[in-house]
Chain A
Amino acid sequence: MEKTLERGMTGAVGPTRSAEALEREWVDASRRGDTVAFNRLVLAWESTVYNLALRMLQDPEEAAETTQDVFLRAYRGIHRFRGGARFSTWLYRIAANRCLSRLRRRPPGFDPSAVRCEPASPESQEAALLRAERARSVTRALRELGPDQRAVVELKIYQDRSFEEVAAILDAPLSTIKSRFYTSLEILRRRLGGSPP
């Protein structure tokens, strides 16, 4: 989160203040109706939320719409956020629920457009193609997962949340989350890592 928050700081904060404290400060200000503080949170979390939505929905336009929706809902509901949980957990819950809601509304056989894969750093054309091909494989493998499995994989693998946090975000028992995750991992391993011996 330190890295994430750095994007939202815009150099206005001194190095002595921790990211956690900074985030708490912005959350408190947002609860008092400070739109600027909330937009600092948006800046800090928009990439994470957008990419979460993109991987879950696999449609850039829909991911952008969902991200905007997530932040709008967060802004409207920030006064209800009491600080009992971490802000990220609360935000992930909103994002995961919005994505799950959209996934469940999709008709069977819905084929979203492919995920854009833009290399983060300059690399050779061959390496870029190879990376793009692997990303497409992952996209295809993720499509085989159901909405709930996709949400667990997204939060566990890409957002690096603990099982307890994933259970809290998705509001499901810990055992269910673990079972769902290992089943998903098995599906992904079959698709991406070859057949089991």
Chain B
Amino acid sequence: MQESCRSCRDLLNRDPFEELTPEERRDLDAHVTLCRDCARERQALTETMEAMGSVEEVPPPKHFFVYEERRSSPWSSFRRLSPVWQGALAAAALAGLVLVALTAARLHLRWEEGVLLASFGDAPRERLARAWKHELLTVAQARSRAADLEWMDRLRRELARSREEQSGQMQVLLASGLREIEDRVDLQVATGTRRVESDTRLALSRFRQLVSQQRKRDLAILGRQLDGFATRNQIQSERTDLLMTAIFGPAELAGP
């Protein structure tokens, strides 16, 4: 293929699409007039384009309209209302939201053993913690210090064992409850000890007082007994003197 034919083929490809300048078209026409191969190529290309053009536009089988889904949104309905109604509805919605928020803050739902439990008021966890504290305090008051310590050790062990199952907040609550109980028990024990010491001191003082009084009473009785004994001895002595005098007095008078 000659160089002129190569450039002609390029022009031929662009020719059906009106991309040639007048100069290019003149060159192409001039070349095709002289070159039979390129003339045949042009004829083939023309037939190709004619054949391609024989495929006519087919009317669509239907229209392809797009329909909007006519769903009235709450916002569009709201916007259609008058400003007075809009204000009233907004206020009502706000009040409703506040009510719902308050209700939600006091409403507690929990899942226990396959049952959904709902409660209104204090959080069940706080209530449960309070109940635990109360129960623990009641039990603690009924036990001795040693038993309390042993019992609290057991509780601590139980707490450590169930750490996996308990939520963090629950553990904190339980630990704080235990600390409070321990403090109270310590306080009670200290108070009891002080009371016992005080009672003991009082009792000893009373005992000493009693012993002292008793000793005084005993000494007084002994003194009185000794006095009586001395009096009786003196009386006896006087009687003896009188008797001796009575016996030995005449004898002395009647001596040698």
A67 close to B60 (CB less than 8 A): yes
Interface size class of B (residues with CB under 8 A): 20 to 34
Chain A residues with CB under 8 Å of B43's CB are 193
Assembled-state Cα–Cα distance A181/B62 (Å)? 32
In this complex, what residue of B is CB-closest to A39?
A: B65
- A197 contacts the other chain (Cβ, under 8 Å)? yes
Chain A residues with CB under 8 Å of B52's CB are 138, 157-158, 188, 192
Chain B residues with CB under 8 Å of A135's CB are 54-56
A139 close to B64 (CB less than 8 A): no
- B67 contacts the other chain (Cβ, under 8 Å)? yes
Assembled-state Cα–Cα distance A185/B49 (Å)? 9
CB of B81, distance to nearest CB on chain A (Å): 21
Q: A39-B66, A43-B63, A156-B17 are in contact. Are A185 and B40 (CB under 8 A)?
A: no
- B13 contacts the other chain (Cβ, under 8 Å)? yes
B66 close to A72 (CB less than 8 A): yes
A35 close to B66 (CB less than 8 A): yes
Which residues of chain A (139-178) have a CB below 8 Å from chain B?
139, 141, 156-158
A35 close to B57 (CB less than 8 A): no
Out of B13, B48, B64, B66, name the residue touching A192 (CB < 8 Å).
B48
Which residues of chain B (16-66) have a CB below 8 Å from chain A?
17, 36-37, 40-41, 43-49, 51-52, 54-66
B66 close to A64 (CB less than 8 A): no
B66 close to A38 (CB less than 8 A): yes
Segment of A15-23, A47-55, A96-104, A105-113 in the binding face: A47-55
B58 close to A42 (CB less than 8 A): no
In this complex, what residue of A is CB-closest to B46?
A: A193
- B68 contacts the other chain (Cβ, under 8 Å)? yes
A46 close to B68 (CB less than 8 A): no
A64 close to B51 (CB less than 8 A): no
CB of A15, distance to nearest CB on chain B (Å): 25
Residue of A38, A71, A185 with most chain B CB atoms under a 10 A cut-off = A185
Q: A71-B64, A75-B66 are in contact. Are A134 and B58 (CB under 8 A)?
A: no
Chain B residues with CB under 8 Å of A117's CB are 55-56, 58
Chain B residues with CB under 8 Å of A67's CB are 60, 64
Assembled-state Cα–Cα distance A35/B70 (Å)? 11
Out of B37, B47, B64, name the residue touching A46 (CB < 8 Å).
B64
B44 close to A55 (CB less than 8 A): no
Out of B36, B51, B56, B62, name the residue touching A120 (CB < 8 Å).
B56
Residue of B17, B56, B58, B59 with most chain A CB atoms under a 10 A cut-off = B58
- A79 contacts the other chain (Cβ, under 8 Å)? no
In this complex, what residue of A is CB-closest to B66?
A: A75
Which residues of chain A (25-53) have a CB below 8 Å from chain B?
33, 35, 38-39, 42-43, 46-47, 49-51
Q: A42-B65, A185-B13 are in contact. Are A139 and B45 (CB under 8 A)?
A: no
- List 28 A–B pairs whose Cβ atoms lie within 8 Å, in order of A's numbering: A39-B66, A42-B63, A42-B64, A42-B65, A42-B66, A46-B63, A46-B64, A47-B60, A49-B64, A51-B57, A60-B61, A71-B66, A120-B57, A135-B56, A138-B51, A138-B55, A157-B49, A182-B13, A185-B13, A189-B44, A189-B48, A193-B43, A193-B44, A193-B46, A193-B48, A196-B44, A197-B36, A197-B41
Task: Give 5 closest A-B pairs by Cβ, nearest first.
Answer: A193-B44, A193-B48, A134-B54, A50-B60, A193-B47
Q: Which residues of B contact A (CB under 8 A)?
A: 13, 17, 36-37, 40-41, 43-49, 51-52, 54-68
